[in-house]
Amino acid sequence: MQKFRGFIAIDIKPFPKLLEFEREIKNTGANVKLVEPENIHLTIKFLGDTDESLIDRIEEIMNYSVKEVEPFEINLKGAGVFPNERYIKVIWIGIENGESISKIVSKLDEKITTLGFQKEKRKFSAHLTIARVKNVKNKEKLIQIIEKYRNIEFGKIKINSIKLKKSTLTPKGPIYTTLKEINF
């Protein structure tokens, strides 16, 4: 049986303020791996190794999870790091007005377990991953940029679909392919 590395996400089209933030991060000289602008997304459920035979059933669960959802707007605001500034692994942009996303995630997480996927242990935290930090080179410059953007309004984005994505890992970075898209 064929498997793929899967996840369910909301694609985010790159926009000027986000690209400016990525440029400034890159210019710190820190050892980071920026998310390619065309790959920026909000992961709502990471599936991992997934049997291709489950694609139609995953699609049904995705449909169920957005059944009562109308298109909505989120506000991208602020920047930060996971897990903390002493040990930076991920640089992110925050999301306000994410209640509809949380409802989708909750329904999705509840139903997807029927296919053998694990229920999330951590509470969902809506964010856009912008970069992964490889090591602490130029950490102070990096923290200065994150501080600069800590309360910045990046912009509003209309959300009207979720997607089942396939991630193919390559030496140049992941290649994402949309397998299913559910509009609402």
By the 8 A CB rule, do 91 and 130 touch?
A: yes
CATH number of the domain where residue 114 is located: 3.90.1140.10
Number of domains in the chain: 1
Residue 95 has pLDDT above 90, yes or no: yes
Q: Give the per-residue pLDDT at 173.
A: 84
The H-or-E segment that residue 90 falls in is strand 87-96
Helix, strand, coil percentages for the chain (3-state, nearest 5): 30, 40, 30
User: In 10 A of CB 158, how many CB atoms?
Assistant: 8
- Calculate what percentage of the chain has a pLDDT beyond 90: 89
The encoded tokens of residue 143 equal 């923290």
Q: Which of 10, 12, 34, 41 is catalytic?
A: 41
> pTM higher than 0.85 for the full model?
yes
Q: What is the pLDDT of residues 5-16, one digit of tens each?
A: 999 999 999 999
Q: Which of 127, 163, 165, 166 is catalytic?
A: 127
Q: What is the pLDDT of residues 68-93, one digit of tens each?
A: 999 999 999 999 999 999 899 999 99
Q: Give the per-residue pLDDT at 13.
A: 92
Q: What is the pLDDT of residues 99-139, one digit of tens each?
A: 999 999 999 999 999 999 999 888 898 999 999 998 878 89
41 catalytic? Reply is yes
CA dihedral 133, 27, 10, 13 (to 10 degrees): -170
Residue 36 has pLDDT above 90, yes or no: yes
127 catalytic? Reply is yes
Range of the domain at 40: 3-182
CA distances from residue 149 to 21, 50, 80, 122 in whole angstroms, order as listed: 8, 37, 8, 26
